[in-house]
Structure 1
Amino acid sequence: MENEMEKMDLPIEDDSCNTSSRKSHHSDAVKKNLVTRLNRVEGQIRGIKGLIEKDTYCDDVITQIAATQAALNSVGKILLEGHLKGCVVDRINEGDMDVLDEFVVTIQKLMKK
């Protein structure tokens, strides 16, 4: 199965994270993709709010909530992949093995339901 970055034909930056300032450095294409996805999620949230205000049948609202959660999870997966292939690898190459514990905690946060 192709990963999200390959499906988008977007480059994964070699210097995706600066360890001294702990900032991400995503390519413009990745940023644009993430912002587009988040704008879509924002629209879905507004749509869900509208459905509730209109007393839409609960099952229909729940279906929209599930779709929104899936879209947000997709953003998280893209960020997690870039973090692993960029930040984590860079820090391991610099001899910082503590990044592995940090990465495990990050995955646990992402998977928390």
Structure 2
Amino acid sequence: MELDLAGAELRSVLNRLRRAQGQISGVIRMIEEGRDCEEVVTQLAAASRALDRAGFAIIATGLQQCLTDIGDGPKADAERDEMRARLEKLFLSLA
């Protein structure tokens, strides 16, 4: 299953991932500096949410693209069911 993340969808996902990357770097720096545990956990939670949102955006885009690309035909229902199951499994891995 390949995703074609074009335009605004791709920029949105990449921005979320870059934000998470910066937050994780910040968490590492905070730990090295011996910062307060609550501050570290707050930043770690923010990074986790950014990663989750990027994953959900990828899954939502994949669901939309995959299900519309399947089209009609004798195998379409089976392909659609298989794709839905695969995307559901991915979705649940983030939940």
Same-fold call, TM cutoff 0.5: yes
CA distance in 2, matches of 1:89, 1:97: 14
- TM-score (ref. length: structure 1): 0.66
Change (3 A) 1:53 1:99: farther
Structure holding more helix per residue: 2
Quote the offset at 1:92 in angstroms: 5.7
CA contact (8 A) 2:66 2:83 kept: no
Partner residue in 2 for 1:111: 92
Which residue of the partner structure matches residue 54 of structure 1? 33
Q: Is the deviation greater in 52-61 or in 26-35?
A: 26-35
Q: CA 1:56–1:92 in 2, change beyond 3 Å: closer, same or farther?
A: farther
AA aligned to 1:60 is: E
Taking a change above 3 Å as real, the CA distance of residues 101 and 39 of structure 1, as seen in their structure-2 partners, is same
- Unaligned runs of at least 5 residues, structure 1: 1-21
Q: Which residue of 2 aligns with 1:97?
A: 78
SS at match of 1:72: helix
CA distance in 2, matches of 1:48, 1:93: 49
Percent of aligned positions that are identical: 25
CA distance in 1 between counterparts of 2:45 and 2:71 reads 36
**Separation (CA, whole Å) in 1 of partners of 2:72 and 2:23:** 40
Task: State which of 32, 38, 52 in structure 2 corresponds to 1:73.
Answer: 52
The alignment covers a number of residue pairs equal to 92
- TM superposition score normalised by structure 2: 0.77
